[in-house]
Amino acid sequence: MKLSIRQLADVLATYVDENKISVASFVETRDNTVGLLDTIGKIFTIVTNYVDKLERFNGEDLSFGKTVEEWASDLILVEDYRPNGGEALSPHYSTYRPVYFSYTLGRKVIPQTIKYNDIERAVHNEGQFISIIEDKTRKMYDSETMFRYGMKRQALGVLATLCDSIMDSSNADYTITNASATWATISSGVKGEVNDVVYVNVSGGTTNGIYGLVKPVAADSTLVLATLLSGGYLIKYDLVTEIAKPIDTTTGDAFVKQVKKDVEIASDFSEGHSLNNNTLGVTPENGLVLIMRQGLLPSLEVDVQAGAFHQDKVSLPAEIIVLPDLGNADDDIYALLIDERIMRCYRSYQAVRENQNGDGDFLNYFFHTESTVHISRNCFVKVYKVPQA
């Protein structure tokens, strides 16, 4: 009988039965002449390589100690030459940015149990048995990989939140509304005599913004705002840019233009673009990384770059890493441009221990892991955030 395409479709619809494909339960059959249980023909699993997209931010393992300390010295002011050597015996001490510490996040354990004489009854041969045991071991390491990946996403969220908090005027230590007021009046003689971390909200003039105190000022100083600015005592922070998400050609063009402007700044020495407000710029060896939430890059690639006559002129001059989230950071924060050195996840402990339980006839594995995550306050960072109403 001639087979038609329509007949074939009808036959296959009956033959390829959904009740026999990817079924969660096993129904035994004895469709053989000796009446024995029909054997399962193949047992397999799909193996996935769990990739940490933030692996570049891993630091070295800490063999001794778990706390990370970061310091940075200031540049030295150039002075006029003194032919009489009048300052030869005077001290000329270095000055430093505030020192910061990161502490261990604490130890975590990934447990795994292997029961004796258990898997053997489910497999056909030694190869299948070994495959299942290997999978149990591999899953402990895969679980730590994904745990550390999530840890670094959360740390990036912490970085973004820190930047956002600094730029919030309600968190400033002092507010300047009168440009003629002296520092002693502004600070009430409290902070500023040493290199404290001091945030100042300048309001009511053309220099509005959040400033950081980067040079010590005596508590009773009579310096006014204009001198504090011109003398480099106060440096304006520029850590957050409110700009629409790049979801079409217009917003995509604006975003790329803003990122390119920030790349120019980051590629040289500048103040006001790090948490410590210092002059550390990126190096050729350690470039810039643009961290973006999922869902934005397709628009940049299609709406902006695909229609560009000179595509190299609009491509972003930084490595792009797309992440599903930035931990629990505000959803309005959707991207960060950072110096690659700004974050490191140091593993301070890793060990696998085992315990045999003779009574229960099983073996327990315990994968111990401990990390210290550090965020540098001396590296360039720019946060991109949805404009606030």
Residues 367 and 112 sit within 8 Å (Cβ to Cβ): yes
pLDDT, mean of residues 107-132: 91
CA atoms of 304 and 313, how far apart (whole Å): 11
pLDDT digits (tens, 9 = 90+) for 40-69: 888 888 888 888 999 999 999 999 999 999
pLDDT digits (tens, 9 = 90+) for 303-332: 776 544 444 444 556 788 999 999 999 999
Decide if pLDDT at 350 tops 80.
Answer: yes
SS3 content of the chain, % helix, strand, coil (to 5): 30, 25, 50
Closest listed residue to residue 338, CA positions, set 263, 277, 276 = 263
| DSSP annotation of 201 | E
Helices (H), the chain: 5-15, 126-166, 183-187, 225-230, 249-266, 297-299, 311-314
Closest listed residue to residue 70, CA positions, set 343, 321, 334 = 343
Query: Token pair of 150, please?
Result: 């999530």
pLDDT digits (tens, 9 = 90+) for 217-244: 888 899 999 999 999 899 999 999 999 9
With b meaning 16 or more CB within 10 Å and e meaning fewer, what string describes 131-142? bbeeeeeeebeb
pLDDT at 315: 55
Token pair 């892991």 is at which residue?
369
